[in-house]
A and B are shown apart, each in its own frame.
Chain A
């Protein structure tokens, strides 16, 4: 059995908190930007939030947050540090667990990485209201494994054809391998109001026709909201600041806050 096939079963995560995997089919669509700002928005709504660099060092979470920690997930995996030592306070009032560049050697999903990954997430879940897994793009075994640990999947896509095709391909894999029935979508860099609604409908149409053909196992794509194309996003990223702090009244920040409010009502509120 190879690594990819053994990650097909979603792992059991204790239902104390919500684990949200933020993923995308294609890289460069703003996944990490969304993770970090969504975390800040959820934190400002009173939740204890942690973002985990589940791309194992390939995510740019450290760059986005302007944090360069000495102790990282790498040290936790190798037993050199405890989880508490590796958890940092991020500027937006939430916690982060960064992987560090040394993790590149773990971008292969070995049994050790799987068990360490699982141990870390299991330990984190009871301590936070929301754990956001900032995963890599695409469908590598590490991404699929990270997503399998999440109770909810949030796909980030832009309206570009390549991004949508890759998002569709990823959704297809998640439906096929992990039997996901609900996937949530955020459309980033939307150029006009309603773009995300239309895109979600398009993806749903293709999915119904080709993937979820069994009516008994329908797959539902839920559009969480659009983040409009906003020059202030770029400015905040260049300054390595959270948009929610640098420009809280910018259209993109307002949209992110609304998405957080929606998640709060629909997903997080349902935690028993």
Chain B
């Protein structure tokens, strides 16, 4: 696009009021900066709207739409790479009684505090989402089976230790129940099946007394670097044998010996 075309955008001709109001409400947006091109400004507005459409307004976490986009991408990489990926579903215990006792504003404060705590408890690469009502979800890529329960326990204990200010001179404490499931490796699966498995463990956590984490561990299988090394060194030899004729010829041409031929 040439500069002339860029400049031909007349911002006053566009109905941006609703979009700008949305952005302003989220603490973003504003008038074009001095010297900012109309195109640059529009791009910023669009980026801001995209960002907004993926966030939960109350907690600032990923919303359900973003969660589904991430979980679908994640399943793809699990099936292709055999990566171990954990999904945690988390539900605040007796949340209804907080709303009933202290009002919805207090409930909202609790949701915000839990959201912020969750985001602090996990790595930047993890996705924390508000799944609905008082239910949250966390997707943890590259989470080895041994670490799953440790992460879930850390989250559970941190939240249980919180004192959340919901009104002047009123703090409340809450607990959460957590259910987790690893994505089936090397297998085509669906987000629904994965979520369902995590949900079932959440249900187990709820029915066995709440304030606990239940994680379904995957069938243990790991191939150590040593094992891989032995397998691959043999493979490399085998590959050399495939090319035996060619390698021998090359070795002859180079005046060397076949046994000197390096293999990766």
Are B216 and A164 in contact (CB-based, < 8 A)?
no
Please tell me if the beta carbons of B230 and A206 are within 8 angstroms of each other in the complex. yes
* Chain B contacts with A in 221-249, Cβ cutoff 8 A: 221-224, 226-228, 230-232, 234-235, 238, 241-242
Which stretch in B52-60, B69-77, B132-140, B182-190 binds the other chain? B182-190
Contact A206 B227 (CB under 8 A): yes
User: In the bound complex, what is the Cα–Cα distance between A164 and B232 (angstroms)?
Assistant: 9
Cα distance A164–B236 when bound, in Å?
A: 13
CA A204 – CA B217 in complex, angstroms?
Answer: 28
Q: Is the CB of A137 within 8 A of B227?
A: no
Judge whether A205 and B184 touch: CB under 8 Å.
no
Contact (A165, B223) CB under 8 Å given A108-B193, A206-B230? yes
Please determine whether A4 and B189 come into contact, CB atoms closer than 8 angstroms.
no
Question: Which residue on A lies nearest to B224, using beta carbons?
Answer: A210
Say yes or no: A2-B231 contact (C-beta < 8 A), given A169-B223, A199-B238: no
Query: Does A182 reach chain B (CB closer than 8 Å)?
Result: no
B219 A141 Cβ-Cβ under 8 A: yes
Taking the complex as formed, is B191 at the interface, i.e. its CB lies under 8 A from any CB of chain A? no
B82 contacts the other chain (CB 8 A):
yes
Residue of B nearest to A136 (CB): B187
Tell me the B148-198 residues at the A interface (CB within 8 Å): 184-190, 193, 196-197
Q: A192-B242, A198-B241 are in contact. Are A205 and B230 (CB under 8 A)?
A: yes
Contacts known (A27-B186, A161-B232); A168 close to B196, Cβ less than 8 A: no
CA distance A172 to B194 in the complex (A): 25
Question: Known contacts A2-B216, A161-B232: does B184 contact A172 (CB below 8 Å)?
Answer: no
With A136-B187, A138-B187, A206-B230 as given contacts, are A108 and B238 in contact (CB-CB < 8 Å)?
no
Looking at the complex, which one of B82, B196, B231 makes contact with A164 (CB distance below 8 Å)?
Answer: B231
Closest to A26 in B: B186
In the complex, A195 has a CB within 8 A of chain B: yes
Beyond A138-B185, A198-B241, A202-B235, is A173–B221 a contact (Cβ under 8 Å)? yes
A210→B227 contact, CB < 8 A = yes
Whether A165 lies near B221 (C-beta < 8 A) is no
Bound together, the chains give a CA A173 to CA B185 distance in angstroms of 14
Q: Are B189 and A107 in contact (CB under 8 A)?
A: yes
Asked if B226 and A138 make an inter-chain contact with CB atoms under 8 angstroms apart, the answer reads no
A166-204, CB under 8 A of B: which get 1 and which 0? 101110110011000000000000011001001101110
The answer to whether the Cβ of A58 comes within 8 Å of any Cβ in the partner chain is yes
Asked if B218 lies at the interface with its beta carbon under 8 angstroms from chain A, I say yes
Residues of A close to B234: CB separation below 8 A: 201-202, 205-206
Assembled-state Cα–Cα distance A107/B79 (Å): 14
Instruction: Return B67 CB to nearest CB of chain A, in Å.
Output: 20
Whether B231 pairs with A202 at a CB distance below 8 angstroms is yes
Q: How many whole Å from A248's CB to the nearest CB in chain B?
A: 28
Contacts of A169 in B (CB 8 A): 221-223
Whether the pair B187, A202 counts as a contact (CB closer than 8 A) is: no
Collect the chain B residues with CB atoms within 8 Å of residue A201's CB. 234
Cα-based distance from A177 to B217 in the complex (angstroms): 14
Give every chain A residue within 8 A of B227 (Cβ-Cβ).
168, 206, 209-210
CB distance from B52 to the nearest CB of A (A): 35
Which residues from B are CB-within-8-Å of A202?
231, 234-235, 238
Tell me which residues across on chain A come within 8 A of B228, comparing CB atoms.
165
Residues from chain A with a CB closer than 8 A to the CB of B230 are 205-206, 209-210
Q: Which residues of B sit under 8 angstroms from A137, Cβ to Cβ?
A: 186-187
Contacts A108-B193, A140-B187, A192-B242 given: A4-B235 contact, CB under 8 Å? Answer: no
> Per a CB cutoff under 8 Å, which of B190, B222, B223 touches A104?
B190
Interface residues of A in 103-130 (CB under 8 A from B): 104-105, 107-108
Among B185, B186, B216, the most chain A Cβ lie within 10 Å of the Cβ of B186
The answer to whether A2 and B223 touch across the interface, beta carbons within 8 angstroms, is: no
* Cα–Cα, bound, A171→B57 (Å): 49
| Set of chain A residues within 8 Å of B223, measured between Cβ atoms | 165, 168-169, 172
A198 to B238, CA, bound (A): 7
Q: With both chains docked as a complex, state the minimum distance between the C-beta of B49 and any C-beta of chain A, in angstroms.
A: 36
Nearest 3 CB-CB pairs, A to B? A138-B186, A202-B234, A140-B184
A-B contact pairs, 24 of them (CB 8 A): A2-B216, A26-B186, A58-B188, A107-B193, A108-B197, A137-B187, A138-B82, A139-B185, A139-B219, A140-B184, A140-B187, A140-B219, A141-B219, A143-B187, A165-B223, A165-B228, A166-B186, A170-B221, A192-B242, A195-B238, A198-B238, A198-B241, A199-B238, A210-B226
- Residues on A lying within 8 angstroms of B by beta carbon are 2-4, 25-27, 58, 104-105, 107-108, 136-141, 143-144, 159, 161, 164-166, 168-170, 172-173, 176-177, 191-192, 195, 198-199, 201-203, 205-206, 209-210
Q: A161-B235, A202-B238 are in contact. List 9 more A-B contacts (CB 8 A).
A: A2-B217, A27-B186, A140-B186, A159-B238, A166-B82, A201-B234, A202-B234, A206-B231, A210-B226
